[in-house]
Chain A
């Protein structure tokens, strides 16, 4: 598994895409930190990048990589290697490369300009998002044989989590505003890794007071140490679940 991951990392490093992504993140982070004197404000601006751009790049990069590596996977399947070893090796390789890019691109400026708990939480949520969207991209790549369909499905899933899902939640909140929805809102937020990441960072920022009564409930639940464990646990589920489904599909896949 680690051997396969090693060759995947070699292969990814040979293309310039990952380098461009790292430089882009580095540039954006450095710009945001040097423009704002208040570290917290920079973190909020960075948060929107992390919530939208990081999942998008993770999904697109992983899906295109998977289809480009199809020959390599075909070659491996005819060798004495288990199918789960092959797929998990691929995942580890992609995950390692993308995490390295994120940690260098956002983590290094963070260490220099804002080395505090808030920065740490942003890195944690960004890292979690990177991994969970790689996992989601693996699911669509394995499920779809056709490259165009696979990339389409990945983009659709990203769009759903980044945009459509919040609209649905808002719709639910408006239509059922006569009922106590606090617990339901927490449950709804758990169904979207991007929401989980956002809540994780916002709780550290102490601006939940601006969010009214629901914000208070959020603060009470997610602000506690149990809340942090809960958000991390849900994040972990969002990494493992799509990957586990992908392994199941891949075991039966015809190559």
Chain B
């Protein structure tokens, strides 16, 4: 569904992406992990067209996305830190997004209702707590029923109930044949949601594997331990 070809990106002297070749297919949850500054967000933003790569291409359903923005109809994006027009009220924000996307598919307001956002429609965005802003971001990402969901550290800042709601929603999206790309630092959460795991290190893909295979190869029960084992083996090799 999404394929990247040799993505390169510099921010000044910083070499953030060093030739990322990868592909993502529908019906799976892929977790992108890696240390801070390894290029996770830059990779996601390149796919979204928010960052323009120096070299390389992104294909969506086989089409180069460089000069065509219509593929973003099929993507719902939840940013790491959602930032919205401060003077706008929650209700106005949702109305505006609906107006701007002009989506023909049926809306998916499930998450919006589960997070009880309609009760807060009159609150201005600037008065919201970090967690509530995250809820708004998540509800917006799912609202247009897109076939690809890109969630950048979705549960950071959410309370346990909201985290569970969101995780259940992710699994449901997977069952509907959607592609979900999630970045996260919380291994237990990755284990609950993801089928595949992509480890980015210094702008390169270190490994990209099915989680079950990874556990079998390392003989570890826990994902965190399995990854640690791979990392130490690589360090010794």
* Interface positions of A (Cβ within 8 A of B): 3-4, 7, 11, 14-15, 68-72, 74-83, 251-255
B84 adjacent to A81 (CB under 8 Å): no
B69 adjacent to A71 (CB under 8 Å): no
- Closest partner residue, chain B, to A77 (CB atom): B50
Q: What B residues does A81 contact at CB under 8 A?
A: 69, 72, 100
Q: Which of A71, A76, A82 has the most CB of B within 10 A?
A: A71
* Interface positions of B (Cβ within 8 A of A): 11, 45, 48-52, 69-73, 75, 77, 79, 83-88, 96-97, 99-101
Looking at the assembled complex, report how far the CB atom of A11 sits from the nearest CB atom of chain B, in whole angstroms.
6
B85 adjacent to A71 (CB under 8 Å): yes
A80 adjacent to B84 (CB under 8 Å): no
B51 adjacent to A79 (CB under 8 Å): no
A79 adjacent to B72 (CB under 8 Å): yes
B52 adjacent to A80 (CB under 8 Å): no
Q: Which of A7, A80, A253 has the most CB of B within 10 A?
A: A80
Q: How far is the CA of A82 from the CA of B100 in the complex (A)?
A: 12
Q: How far is the CA of A3 from the CA of B70 in the complex (A)?
A: 17
Choice from B48, B87, B96 contacting A78 with Cβ under 8 Å? B48
11 new A-B contacts at CB < 8 Å, known A251-B52, A254-B51: A3-B99, A11-B88, A15-B87, A69-B85, A71-B85, A72-B84, A74-B50, A75-B85, A78-B72, A79-B101, A254-B45
Q: What A residues does B69 contact at CB under 8 A?
A: 80-83
Q: What B residues does A254 contact at CB under 8 A?
A: 11, 45, 50-52
Looking at the assembled complex, report how far the CB atom of A175 sits from the nearest CB atom of chain B, in whole angstroms.
42
Q: Which of A76, A251, A253, A255 has the most CB of B within 10 A?
A: A255
Q: How far is the CA of A76 from the CA of B85 in the complex (A)?
A: 11
Q: List 21 A-B contacts (CB under 8 A).
A: A7-B96, A11-B87, A70-B83, A71-B83, A71-B84, A74-B79, A75-B83, A75-B84, A76-B100, A77-B48, A77-B49, A78-B49, A78-B72, A79-B100, A80-B70, A80-B71, A81-B69, A82-B69, A83-B69, A252-B52, A254-B52
Q: How far is the CA of A74 from the CA of B48 in the complex (A)?
A: 11
Using known A-B contacts A252-B52, A254-B11, determine if residue A80 contacts B83 with beta carbons closer than 8 Å.
no
Q: What B residues does A4 contact at CB under 8 A?
A: 100
A78 adjacent to B100 (CB under 8 Å): no
Q: How far is the CA of A82 from the CA of B48 in the complex (A)?
A: 12
Q: What B residues does A83 contact at CB under 8 A?
A: 69
A74 adjacent to B83 (CB under 8 Å): yes
A3 adjacent to B100 (CB under 8 Å): yes
Looking at the assembled complex, report how far the CB atom of A254 sits from the nearest CB atom of chain B, in whole angstroms.
5
B100 adjacent to A255 (CB under 8 Å): no
Q: How far is the CA of A78 from the CA of B137 in the complex (A)?
A: 12
Q: What A residues does B49 contact at CB under 8 A?
A: 77-78
Looking at the assembled complex, report how far the CB atom of B92 sits from the nearest CB atom of chain A, in whole angstroms.
9
Q: How far is the CA of A235 from the CA of B37 in the complex (A)?
A: 47
Looking at the assembled complex, report how far the CB atom of B132 sits from the nearest CB atom of chain A, in whole angstroms.
16
Q: How far is the CA of A75 from the CA of B83 in the complex (A)?
A: 8
- Closest partner residue, chain A, to B140 (CB atom): A75
Looking at the assembled complex, report how far the CB atom of B67 sits from the nearest CB atom of chain A, in whole angstroms.
9
Q: What A residues does B52 contact at CB under 8 A?
A: 251-254
Q: How far is the CA of A82 from the CA of B96 in the complex (A)?
A: 17
Looking at the assembled complex, report how far the CB atom of B217 sits from the nearest CB atom of chain A, in whole angstroms.
36
- Closest partner residue, chain B, to A72 (CB atom): B85
Q: What A residues does B70 contact at CB under 8 A?
A: 80
Looking at the assembled complex, report how far the CB atom of B138 sits from the nearest CB atom of chain A, in whole angstroms.
14
Q: What A residues does B75 contact at CB under 8 A?
A: 78
Q: How far is the CA of A71 from the CA of B84 in the complex (A)?
A: 5
A255 adjacent to B51 (CB under 8 Å): yes
Q: What B residues does A76 contact at CB under 8 A?
A: 100
Q: What A residues does B85 contact at CB under 8 A?
A: 11, 69, 71-72, 75
- The 7 A-B pairs of least Cβ separation, nearest first, read A71-B83, A80-B72, A80-B73, A254-B51, A78-B77, A72-B85, A255-B50
Q: What A residues does B84 contact at CB under 8 A?
A: 71-72, 75
Q: How far is the CA of A99 from the CA of B73 in the complex (A)?
A: 34
Q: How far is the CA of A251 from the CA of B72 in the complex (A)?
A: 16
Q: How far is the CA of A223 from the CA of B146 in the complex (A)?
A: 60
Looking at the assembled complex, report how far the CB atom of A70 sits from the nearest CB atom of chain B, in whole angstroms.
8
- Closest partner residue, chain A, to B72 (CB atom): A80
Q: How far is the CA of A77 from the CA of B70 in the complex (A)?
A: 12
Using known A-B contacts A15-B87, A72-B85, determine if residue A80 contacts B77 with beta carbons closer than 8 Å.
no
Q: How far is the CA of A82 from the CA of B79 in the complex (A)?
A: 19
Q: How far is the CA of A4 from the CA of B48 in the complex (A)?
A: 20
